[in-house]
């Protein structure tokens, strides 16, 4: 069942809904590949369409690795959270 959201929503809230849906559907984990953004450094809108690292951190994702200078792998591990 999808969660309905109305009105303006902070970006980190947009990450919580898919995470909740995935955990309810017995997913083991959810990964994302956001960009690293830095204050004052210009980036194009097309580069950040995958999201910014800070948004995912605020939604509970943890950084797994950094394959490039500007990209990170973020993950929520549902199995680990359930066993804790």
SS (H, E, C) the chain: CCCCCCCCCCHHHHHHHHHHHHHHCCCCEEEECCECCCCCCCCCHHHHHHCEHHHHHHCCCEEEEEEECCEEEEEEEHHHHHHC
Rounded average pLDDT over 45-68? 86
pTM over 0.85: no
CA distance 36 to 45: 13
Q: Does the pLDDT at position 62 exceed 80?
A: yes
Domain ranges of the chain: 11-38+48-83
User: What average pLDDT is seen over the chain?
Assistant: 76
* Residue located via tokens 């960009």: 35
């Amino acid at each position: 069942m999808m969660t309905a959201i109305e009105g303006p929503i902070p970006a980190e809230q947009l990450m919580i809904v898919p995470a909740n849906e995935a955990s309810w559907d017995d997913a083991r984990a959810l990964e994302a590949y956001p960009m690293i953004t830095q204050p004052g450094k210009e980036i194009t809108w097309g580069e950040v369409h995958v999201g910014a690292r800070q948004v995912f951190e605020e939604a509970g994702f943890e950084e797994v690795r950094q394959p490039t200078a500007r990209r990170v792998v973020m993950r929520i591990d549902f199995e680990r959270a359930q066993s804790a």
